[in-house]
Structure 1
Amino acid sequence: MDIAALQPSTGALIAAIALGIVSHQVYKRNEPSVAEFLLHTILLYAILTTLVSTFGPLSNIRLILIGLIDLVVYLFALGTSIVAYRLFFHPLNAYPGPILCKITRFVATKHVIDRDTHAWVSALHDQYGDVVRVSPNELSFKSVTSVDLIHGAKAGKIPKGPFYKGDPNRKANSMHSTQDLFEHRWRRKTWERGFGSLQLREYEPRVMHHLDVLNSQIKCREGSSMNVTAWVEYFAYDVMSDLGFSEDFGMLIEGKPHRYIPALHGATRLLTVAAQTPWIKPLMDWFPVDKQSKQDGKDFAKISMGTYNRHKARENKRPDLFTYISARMEGAPRPMSDPELIADAALIIAAGSVTTALCITFMFQQLCRDRKQYEEFQKEIDSCWDGEGPAIAPYLNGFINESLRLWPPAPTGMQRRAPKEGIFIDGKLVPGNNQLSVHTFAIQRDGRYFSKPAEWIPERWIESRRPSDFNHDVRAFIPFNAGQYTCLGKNLAYQEIRLFWAKLARRFDFEYAPGFDGSSFDQNIRYKGTFLIGPLDMGDNGTKEVYTLLKRVVLLGTVLCFFAKPLGFSS
C-alpha cells in the first residue's frame, strides 16, 4: 500500500490538533474517569473517521488507517497541551520542584513502588526548601507555620485529598477515608466513644494479659535469639484484635503470624500505589504491582468482612472498640451501612497496631545500640513503676517521643485538598482544588525545630534536662497528625507502649543476638504507606534476672535484720 496515500488531509490534521487542545480544556475542569476517557476517545475516532471520509472516496482499510493516524495526532496534541500547561501555565508553576514532577505523578508513583518515598521527598525539601511541587497538582510543605493552616485549628474547611479514594478493595469509605467534612465529623464522634479515659482503664487489664503471654514466651526462649520485629507485631495485633473485637489472633501463643499480617502488608503496598493516581483504580488488575500484593489486598478485605460478621453475630458482646463504633449514636444523621462498618472494621486493627509495633521496635533498636541510654531507661522504670500501671517516667516518655519523631508511622504526611477559594500558606496563595500536605518525616528532622535532628536524644523532651540552646518546637511534632484529623488512638498507643516497657524492661536485659549486625536493620527500612522494617534479632543476656534476684536477696536481708534485733536474735 502506498504510504503517501495514508497521509490525512491538512483539514483532518488541524481538526485533530484542535480537538486535542479543546479536550484538554474540558478535562481540566471535569476530569474524566478511565471509562469516560476511553468512551470519548472512541467517539472522537468515529468523528475523525467521518471527517476524513468527506474529503473523497476511500477504501474501508485506508479510511480506518487514516482515522488511526488522526487519532494519534489528537492524542499527541492532547498530551502536548497538558505538558505545556503544567510546565508554563499551571497555577502551581511558581513553586519549585523537579521538571518531571511538574509533568506527571508517575514519578511519585515510581518512588512508592521503590519504597523510598519518605527519603525522596525529604531530599527534595533539602534541595528546594520549605515547599516543593511533588506532582502536577500537589505541594509538600515542611514549615512549622504550615502545620496549623493545613492540619491544625485553622484547617477546618480543608478536606482530605484524592489519595483517600485509591483503595481498590474498599466498597465504602471508612471514617478515615471519607472526604466529606460533615460526614467525617459525625463518624469521628462515633469513634470517640471508644477512646475515653474510662474505656482506656477498662482496656488496661486486657493489654496486661497479652504482656503476660509475651513475658512467658521470652522466658521460654532464654539462651536463644528472637526476632523482636515479629514478636512485637504479634503483641500489637493480638492486643488490637482483642480490644477491637474481643477476638484473639493467637499469634503470641502460637509464635507465628496470623494471615492478617502479610495480608495487611500487601494490601497497604497496593493501596499506596493505587492512591497516587486514583483514576487507575479500575485498572489495578493490569497495573505493575506484584500478584501477591493484589491477592493480599483481596484477602485483607475478606478477613475484615469475616471479623465484622462474627462480631455482629455474637450475642453476648464484651465491651470493645467496635461495640462503641457500631452502636447507633444519638444525633447521627443516619445509621451506618454494612460496607461502611466493614471499612471501619478494617481500619481498627491496622491503625491501632502499626504505630505501637513500629515505635516499640525502633526503641528496641536504639536501646541495644546505646547501652548508656538503656541503663538509664531501665533505672527509671525500676524506680517508678510497679509493673501494673503507668507512672511519671519522663525518660521513657522522651524515648517514646524520639521514636515517633525520627520514625513517624505516617512519614509522608496526610494529603489535603485546598478549598475552592484557595488558601494562603507562608504568604503565598495555593489555588483551590490542588493537593497539599506537611511532610512529617522531613519536618520532624528539621534542625530549625529540633537541634541535632538526626540524633536520638530523649533528654530533649525533658525540660529540666534539655540544653538551653536547643531548638525544640513541638508544633513540628505531628506523628499523630493534628487538628480535626488527630489520631483518636493516640492515648491508647502511649498506654500500650508504656505498659509494654513497664512489664519487660523490669524483667529482661535485651541485647543484639550473636552475629546480628544492627546497622543492617537501619539499611533495610523501607516505605509502604508506613515503614516496612526487617528482622531485629535479640536475646536476653540474663543479667537483669540476676540483678533482680540480688535486689530481692538484699531486701530480704534488710527485713530479717530489722525484725531480728527486737526478737533478740542479734547481739
Structure 2
Amino acid sequence: MLTIIGIAALLCVLIYNYILNPAFFSPLSKLPTAHPLCSITAKWFDRQLSLRKELTTLLVAHQNNGPVVRLGPQEVSVVSLEGLRAIYTAGLEKHPWYSTYFANYGTPNMVSTLEHRPHSVQKRMIANVYAKSYIQRSSEVETLSRVIVLEKLLPLLHKCANDKSHLNVMPLFQWAGIDFMTAYIFGTGHYTNFLQNKHSREDYFKDRSKILDLDKSGEDNAMERVCMRLATETLASQAQPHQDHVDGTRPVVFGQLYSQLVQKNKAEGEPLSQEDLMKRCASEMLDHIIATHETFAITLTYIIYRMSLDLRMQERLRAELSTLQPSVTLGGAEKTLPPPADIDFLPLLSGILTETLRLHAAAPARQPRVVPEGGIMLHGYYIPAGTKISSNPYSLHRQADVFPRPNDWLPERWMAVPDRPKDSSSFPPSAVIRKWFWAFGSGGRMCIGSNFATHVLKLLIASIYTNFETSIVDDEGIEQSEYFIATPVGNKLIIQLHPIE
C-alpha cells in the first residue's frame, strides 16, 4: 500500500512540475505560444530546428501572436524595439549556449564569455582599432585593401573574364573575407592569402561540415592550427628589431590585444603562462576570423545575385561609383583606392548593402540571453528570472508596418527622401527603420567588427561593379532568372563577368 501511495505521490509531483505548473501557474503561462505544446515542452520547437524551420516558425508565431511569444516552458522570443532595449541594450547575460560553441583552444573569447564585466574588459582592449574613425584613417587598412583588391582580387576576376570562364562566387568571397580579416589582424606579412594560395585554403576548408555545424571536435582542427601558426609567426617577427613594415602592414588587432594582455598580466602578478597568454589571444583572433567564414560570403553572394537580376540597378550603382576619385580600377600607374569616407558616403551603395543585410542577414537566428534576478516586464508580461529570452534579425527585419513589402529587395528604402525614386517616397523615413536594423546586433555585445565589415563589403561591391557587369548562369552557361531564388547560397551561384569597356 505504501509503495502505491509513494508512486501516486511521485506521479502527482511530476504532473504538477512538468504539466500543470508550466501550463497554468507559471508567469509564462499568460504568454501566447508558438504551439500549444510549447507551454509544457521544448521538444516541439526543437523539432522545428531539426527541420530547419526555425526562422519561418518564429516569424509566423510573431505575426499571429504579437511581439512576445513563448517557445518552451522556459524560453521566450521577443520582436520589438522595447524588447531590444530590455534584453540587449540593458546588457542581460548571455545564455550558456555561447560558451559551448564559441570557445577556441578551450579558452574563452568575447563571444563565448557569458558575463558582462569580463567581456567589457577585453572589449576595451581592442575597441579602438575597430572604431569607424580609426578604420577610415588607418594606413594599414589603406595598404592591405590595395594589396588584396588591386593585386589579388581584381586580377583574378579579369583573368576569369578574359578566359570567358564562370566563377563560383561563394568560395571566392570566403577567401577574400578571410584574407581581409587576417591581414588586419596579423598584417600582410603573415596573412592567409587564400585568393592566391590554393593549397592553404584547401587545408583550411578541408572539413567544411564542421565549420557549418560549429563542430570543433577532434584533434586535427585546421582552423585552430592555422590561426595559432599565424599568431606565433607574427609574434616572432615582432620580436625582431626593425621588423615593423619590412614584411608588410602592422598586425593591428593581434598587436593591440597581445600588448594589452601582457600589461594586464603584469599588473595582476603574471597569473597566465606564455602558453595560456597565446591561447587567449589566439582564441579571440580565431573568433574574428570565424565570423568571416560565412558572413562575408553570404552577404556578397546575395548582393551579386540581386544585382544580376536588376541591370538597371547595376547602371545606377556604376553611375554613383563613377564619382569616386580615384576609381577602383587597375588602370593608371599609381595603384590607389578612393578614401574610405568617400566610399562610405555613397547613398545607393549603402542602401544596397543594408537592404541585403536586412533581407538576407548572415546570422539571422536567435541570440539568447538569460533574464536576471527579479525578472523583467515586457509588453505587459512578467518574464521571471532564469528564462531564456531572445530576439532575431529574421523576424525584426520583416515587420510589415516598418518595412512595407518586407520580402522585396528595395535598396531605396534606406536612402534619404531626396535621394529616393518617386515610387519609393512613401516608405518610412530611413531614420525610423534603422532602429529596427539588427544585422550586427545591438548593445554592448553587438558585433565589434561591424565597422570593419561594412567598410570591406562596400569596397568589394564598388570594386566589382566599377569593373564588371554580372549575370547569373548555370553550369552549362544558360542564363537563369529564378533558379536561385529559393536558396541561392545553398546552391552554386555562378556568375558570368562582363568587363566594362
Aligning the two structures, in what range does the TM-score lie when normalised by the shorter sequence? 0.7 to 0.9
Which residue does the alignment assign to 1:253? Answer: 196
Deviation at 1:353, TM superposition (A): 5.1
Which residue does the alignment assign to 2:99? Answer: 165
Larger Rg over CA atoms: 1
- Are 2:450 and 1:490 aligned? yes
Matches within 5 A, 1:411-422: 411-422=364-375
CA displacement 1:41-65 (0-9 Å, x = unmatched): xxxxxxxxxxxxxxxxxxxxxxxxx
Deviation at 1:310, TM superposition (A): 4.0
Which residue does the alignment assign to 1:70? Answer: none
Which residue does the alignment assign to 2:165? Answer: 224
CA 1:309–1:268 in structure 2 vs 1: closer, same or farther (change >3 Å)? farther
| Aligned residue identity for 1:469 | S
Q: Following the alignment from structure 1 to structure 2, what is the Cα–Cα distance between the partners of residues 260 and 87?
A: 48
CA 1:430–1:503 in structure 2 vs 1: closer, same or farther (change >3 Å)? same
- Are 2:304 and 1:340 aligned? no
| Higher alpha-carbon deviation: 331-340 or 347-356 | 331-340
Q: Following the alignment from structure 2 to structure 1, what is the Cα–Cα distance between the partners of residues 49 and 480?
A: 27
- Are 2:251 and 1:319 aligned? yes
Which residue does the alignment assign to 2:334? Answer: none
Q: Number of matched residues?
A: 450
Which residue does the alignment assign to 1:428? Answer: 381
Which residue does the alignment assign to 2:28? Answer: 92
Which residue does the alignment assign to 1:46? Answer: none
Q: Following the alignment from structure 1 to structure 2, what is the Cα–Cα distance between the partners of residues 211 and 417?
A: 42
Report the secondary structure of 1:420's partner residue.
coil
Q: Following the alignment from structure 2 to structure 1, what is the Cα–Cα distance between the partners of residues 388 and 220?
A: 26
Q: Following the alignment from structure 1 to structure 2, what is the Cα–Cα distance between the partners of residues 491 and 454?
A: 26
Q: Following the alignment from structure 2 to structure 1, what is the Cα–Cα distance between the partners of residues 317 and 67?
A: 35
Contact 1:240 1:353 in 2 (8 A): no
| Aligned residue identity for 2:169 | V
Which residue does the alignment assign to 1:178? Answer: 113
Q: Following the alignment from structure 2 to structure 1, what is the Cα–Cα distance between the partners of residues 388 and 236?
A: 41
CA 1:504–1:270 in structure 2 vs 1: closer, same or farther (change >3 Å)? closer
Q: Following the alignment from structure 1 to structure 2, what is the Cα–Cα distance between the partners of residues 79 and 243?
A: 57
Matches within 5 A, 1:257-272: 257-261=201-205, 263=207, 266-270=210-214
CA 1:127–1:382 in structure 2 vs 1: closer, same or farther (change >3 Å)? same
Contact 2:28 2:382 in 1 (8 A): no
Q: Following the alignment from structure 1 to structure 2, what is the Cα–Cα distance between the partners of residues 385 and 297?
A: 47
Deviation at 1:492, TM superposition (A): 0.7
Matches within 5 A, 1:208-247: 208-212=146-150, 213-222=152-161, 223-246=164-187, 247=190
CA displacement 1:248-283 (0-9 Å, x = unmatched): 333211457433345465244146xxxxxxxxxxxx
Which residue does the alignment assign to 2:459? Answer: 499
Deviation at 1:16, TM superposition (A): 4.7
Report the secondary structure of 2:27's partner residue.
coil
Matches within 5 A, 1:395-410: 395-410=348-363
Which residue does the alignment assign to 2:6? Answer: 15
Report the secondary structure of 1:343's partner residue.
helix
Deviation at 1:79, TM superposition (A): 7.5
| Aligned residue identity for 1:367 | M
- 2:486 aligned to 523, 527, 549, which one? 523
Deviation at 1:344, TM superposition (A): 1.1
CA 1:502–1:414 in structure 2 vs 1: closer, same or farther (change >3 Å)? same
| Aligned residue identity for 1:121 | L
Deviation at 1:408, TM superposition (A): 1.5
Q: Following the alignment from structure 1 to structure 2, what is the Cα–Cα distance between the partners of residues 227 and 123?
A: 34
| Aligned residue identity for 2:202 | H
CA displacement 1:212-257 (0-9 Å, x = unmatched): 2111111111211101112111111121122222333332114574
Q: Following the alignment from structure 2 to structure 1, what is the Cα–Cα distance between the partners of residues 486 and 88?
A: 31
CA 1:270–1:230 in structure 2 vs 1: closer, same or farther (change >3 Å)? closer
Give me the CA root mean square deviation. Answer: 2.8
Contact 2:171 2:297 in 1 (8 A): no
Contact 1:270 1:294 in 2 (8 A): no
Which residue does the alignment assign to 2:495? Answer: 538
Identity, in percent, stands at 22
- State the TM-score, normalized to the length of structure 2: 0.81
Deviation at 1:84, TM superposition (A): 3.6
Greater RCO (Cα-Cα under 8 Å, separation 6 or more): 2
